[in-house]
Amino acid sequence: MDDRVRNIKTPEKCEIFAKNCADRGRDDLAMEAKQRAVQLRADAYDTESEAEKEAISAIYAYEEVLSAKNGKKTRASSTWQLIKRHGIISAVDRAINRPAEPEGYISLVDMGLEDYALEAVIIRYPETFSDDAVKISQDRIKQWTAP
């Protein structure tokens, strides 16, 4: 990560930096700034494990995709409601059982955020999530990355 990006202290400043970089054709730095914004938001969220922190990061990354798609700041409202009702891990288990569109994953890849896909988080922490969630995630990643 570029030192200029690493030294940004708030997600809001990351967004400004990313926009300025994109306007100047520096998509590489814009992508790093978006990744940094996701990291900073996740760092500020109270989690009990690395798996929870990465799951929260995935949700913030998903919000980046939604915001880019909609042209305005967009929250993953239904996912946050699930987290409030069931906790992070249980909410991710429930969310992964919903039908998924490959466009969301492709958008994450386009933004350099593919490691933040919920499926990728589940695969990295299989002992934390249900067997069904792990199987669904493995199948989706395999399907989406197949040539």
Task: Assess whether 17 and 63 both reside in one domain.
Answer: no
pLDDT at 102: 63
Specify whether the CB–CB gap between 141 and 120 falls below 8 A: yes
- pLDDT digit string (tens) for 87-135? 999 999 988 888 776 677 777 777 777 888 889 999 999 999 999 999 9
Task: Assess whether 73 and 145 both reside in one domain.
Answer: yes
pLDDT at 4: 93
Q: What is the Cα–Cα distance from 56 to 41, expressed in whole angstroms?
A: 9
pLDDT at 114: 81
Specify whether the CB–CB gap between 89 and 51 falls below 8 A: yes
pLDDT at 97: 82
Domain that holds residue 4: 1-44
Q: What is the pTM of this model?
A: 0.84
Closest CA to 120 of 62, 47, 37, 66: 62
Task: Assess whether 78 and 16 both reside in one domain.
Answer: no
Task: Assess whether 98 and 132 both reside in one domain.
Answer: yes
- pLDDT digit string (tens) for 42-70? 999 999 999 999 999 999 988 888 888 88
Give DSSP secondary structure letters for the chain.
--HHHHT--SHHHHHHHHHHHHHTT-HHHHHHHHHHHHHHHHHHS--SSHHHHHHHHHHHHHHHHHHHHHTS----HHHHHHHHHH-HHHHHHHHHTS---HHHHHHHHHTT-GGGSHHHHHHH-TTTS-HHHHHHHHHHHHHHH--
Task: Assess whether 36 and 92 both reside in one domain.
Answer: no
Task: Assess whether 140 and 70 both reside in one domain.
Answer: yes
Task: Assess whether 101 and 121 both reside in one domain.
Answer: yes
pLDDT at 128: 96
In the numeric block, the tokens 């998924």 are attached to 100
Domains contained in the chain, number: 2
